[in-house]
Amino acid sequence: SRDALQHYVPVIQEEVNACLAQWLDTAGPCLLVYPEVKRLMFRIAMRILLGFQPRQASPDGEQQLVEAFEEMIRNLFSLPIDVPFSGLYRGLRARNIIHAKIEENIRAKMARKEPEGGYKDALQLLMEHTQSNGEQLNMQELKESATELLFGGHETTASAATSLIAFLGLHHDVLQKVRKELQVKGLLCGPNQEKQLDMEVLEQLKYTGCVIKETLRLSPPVPGGFRIALKTLELNGYQIPKGWNVIYSICDTHDVADLFTNKDEFNPDRFMSPSPEDSSRFSFIPFGGGLRSCVGKEFAKVLLKIFTVELARSCDWQLLNGPPTMKTGPIVYPVDNLPTKFIGFSGQI
């Protein structure tokens, strides 16, 4: 809900600013963006989605969880052979580490009446919704739901944020237009121009929103999705029987959509009014479509917008290897981890 998102804004801002300050202070001549952004998005997801407080996870504990998630994700599509050293074995072991930490957090939530941090995280809302419907809390189901929240809430946003850095690093004119919008709204760093972000302010940043949409059009974090045909249907001359598994491609949908001209060009202005996705329902689908579109899409949009704002008003950067080669495994990411040099933004447009 919008109220929940409003509570999340200062938490996101705090984590993003702390991360960017660290990049500027300790980055040196080269920083590998993708793993750093993944760690940032993991911290945000842990706090907002599962309610972990900063003091709950030491750097070593956080690193253990990050590594466990990476191990689990690497083995998502492994062969179903559960023997020592197999992909499935390693993936299940990593999942058990994650589940143990999540269970500890769930039991702590059950023991206290009021949430920490002044807001209810997504897991707390899920638990309350279950109880309000008269259902028993099932620990295994809660752990699996929380794991899904963490996966969906940090891997995808890390991919999108990395792509944002890449595109803005390659298109300085677009970055300058973002900064001009921030300047008009009184958000660019400078005397008497600092302004705290909130939902109302973020919703006014139309061009910044278009930059995020164009990034998601050209580099959607999730390549596609799985569905099951509820009835036999015909598509482009092919019959798809009821009950068959169907995979749809987000990348190919964006690539073949007649709605977009000069499809290979990074041009956020194409999303200025009238908005293309409003005129063709399934031409722009970075969050999927239909009843099972991404449940966290509004959270992702707010998170990426805050990240873009703070990045633009605090950093300048140079991509050391030029345009990155992207790979899917299963989330889209740069093969070279996007080595980048960051310096502080001078405040001059």
For the chain, domains (ranges, CATH) are 2-344 (1.10.630.10)
Query: Which band of pLDDT confidence, cut at 50, 70 and 90, is reported for residue 192?
Result: very low
Cβ atoms < 10 Å from Cβ of 135: 10
User: Who's near 129: CB < 8 A, 6+ residues apart?
Assistant: none
Q: What is the pLDDT of residue 133?
A: 83
Poorest-pLDDT segment among 109-123, 201-215, 293-307, 322-336: 109-123
Compute the average pLDDT of residues 282-293: 87
What's the rounded Cα separation, in Å, for the pair 279 and 258? 12
Mean pLDDT of the chain: 87
Q: What is the pLDDT of residue 191?
A: 44
